């Protein structure tokens, strides 16, 4: 796996396929290879080159100590785009990755050709603030819960009722999260997020954007996702049914179709 140095750290990245580049930015607590389960094969088949990378704090990239900020992640990603000479490029981001993409479109539009923002938001409401605060208290306490418990909590929090009510499907997801739970090294990423309402800043975005919500998302619920689409001039909005925060893994066909259809236009 190749590496590059930017913003004082080393990032691991991979490139697949041939064609115009699409940079995929992963969310908190997950390595870039998660994109390769469903999204990079579909994009490569559609004629694009895909570029994935591990954000700081996870996977093969450096994990500097301390609490990371959204500005840290944006600077890392900007440096990667510049180092690989990708810009202006199409960008697909999910959750934290979508928030990074939003900030890039605001601050560095010359690097962004168009953007698809999955499960994003511009602010936190009372429930999301409470959830974030509780997670940070847990991390600061140094307590590490058993992987089996974390798997159950993650499945309940991240997936849709359609999956939770399917015994075969939910058993597979529980196994996956229990097996991978101990590999999460992204403690610093837990501090990344919006500390202020970014809707006014989003109104300055000039590049084409599509915002996609997952109907049963508890982390970035559709009403907060829709606010992003409403703020960005000319942005369109889609909602994928029967999908939770991991909708790109739960409903990959619908998500891939929505991504590729938009990228083909822009």
95 is catalytic: yes
125 is catalytic: no
Query: Do the beta carbons of residue 119 and residue 216 sit within 8 Å?
Result: no
Query: Do the beta carbons of residue 27 and residue 217 sit within 8 Å?
Result: no
Which one is catalytic: 54, 72, 216, 217? 217
Which one is catalytic: 95, 114, 124, 160? 95
Beta-bridge partner residues of 93: 25, 117
Sign of CA dihedral 65, 195, 7, 61: positive
Query: Do the beta carbons of residue 163 and residue 170 sit within 8 Å?
Result: yes
Provide the token pair at 6: 């930017």
Q: Please give the backbone phi and psi of residue 159, each rounded to the nearest 5 degrees, phi first.
A: -115, 165
Provide the token pair at 149: 């418990």
Which one is catalytic: 114, 160, 216, 245? 245
Query: Do the beta carbons of residue 55 and residue 73 sit within 8 Å?
Result: yes
Q: How far apart are CA 226 and CA 166, in angstroms?
A: 28
Q: Which residues are catalytic?
A: 95, 217, 245
């Amino acid at each position: 796996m190749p590496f590059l140095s930017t913003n004082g750290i080393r990032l691991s990245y991979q490139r697949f396929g041939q064609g115009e580049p699409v940079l995929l930015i992963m969310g908190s607590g997950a390595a870039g290879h998660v994109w390769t389960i469903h999204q990079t094969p579909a994009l490569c088949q559609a004629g694009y080159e895909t570029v994935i990378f591990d954000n700081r704090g996870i996977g093969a990239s450096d994990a500097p100590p301390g609490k990371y900020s959204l500005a840290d992640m944006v600077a890392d990603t900007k440096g990667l785009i510049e180092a690989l000479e990708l810009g202006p490029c199409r960008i697909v981001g999910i959750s934290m990755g979508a928030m990074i993409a939003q900030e890039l479109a605001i601050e560095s539009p010359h690097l962004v050709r168009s953007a698809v923002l999955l499960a994003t938001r511009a602010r936190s409401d009372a429930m999301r603030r409470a959830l974030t605060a509780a997670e940070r208290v847990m991390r600061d306490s140094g307590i590490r819960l058993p992987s089996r418990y974390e798997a159950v909590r993650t499945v309940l929090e991240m997936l849709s009722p359609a999956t939770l009510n399917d015994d075969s499907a939910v058993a597979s997801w529980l196994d996956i999260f229990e097996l991978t739970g101990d590999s999460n090294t992204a403690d610093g990423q837990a501090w990344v997020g919006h500390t202020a309402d970014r809707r006014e800043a989003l109104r300055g975005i000039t590049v084409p954007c599509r915002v996609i919500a997952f109907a049963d998302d508890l982390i970035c619920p559709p009403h907060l996702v829709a606010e992003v689409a409403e703020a960005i001039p000319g942005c369109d909005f889609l909602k994928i049914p029967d999908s939770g925060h991991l909708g790109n893994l739960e409903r990959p066909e619908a998500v891939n179709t929505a991504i590729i259809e938009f990228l083909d236009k822009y």
